Amino acid sequence: MSASLLHLRLRPRLLPALAAVFLAGTLACAPAQARDRDNCKKDQDCARAALMQGEIRPLSAVLGVVRDKVPGDIIEIELDRDDGIWIYEVKVLPPSGHRKKLEIDARTLEILKIK
């Protein structure tokens, strides 16, 4: 039997096997990526992963929401995860001088609290 004929006979059997190996490898990596996101070594790595996965909106969008709601200087921004929900905490110093703190859902940009 020639090498090219052997190659043609093995191909139909080989493709499903290769597809199964590829699929198994892909599925095995998904939990590892989720674990990495939950146990990030650096905050910026967690934030970048959350942004890339669509779990949070970019900072530029958050700043637009804050500026529309509370005029003043933004003096501090934090990104925290509380009970599995990403929340931006933004502190603003308005012209009145009384600092305001906004809590914003990082995915929807809904303002949850203004203190």
pTM: 0.63
Please report which confidence band the pLDDT of residue 84 belongs to, taking 50, 70 and 90 as the band edges: confident
Task: Decide if 47 is inside a domain.
Answer: no
Plot region of 54 (φ>0 → left; ψ -120 to 50 → alpha; else → beta): left
Task: Decide if 45 is inside a domain.
Answer: no
pLDDT digits over 51-83, tens only?
999 999 999 999 999 999 999 999 999 999 988
Whole domain around residue 28: which residue ranges? 3-39
Task: Decide if 44 is inside a domain.
Answer: no
> Cα 30–80–74 angle (5° rounding)?
135
First to last CA, the chain: 81
* Cβ proximity of 87 and 104 under 8 Å: yes
Domain count of the fold of the chain: 2
pLDDT the model gives residue 41: 67
Task: Decide if 48 is inside a domain.
Answer: no
Domain of residue 78, CATH code: 3.10.450.40
Centroid of chain to Cα 5: 49
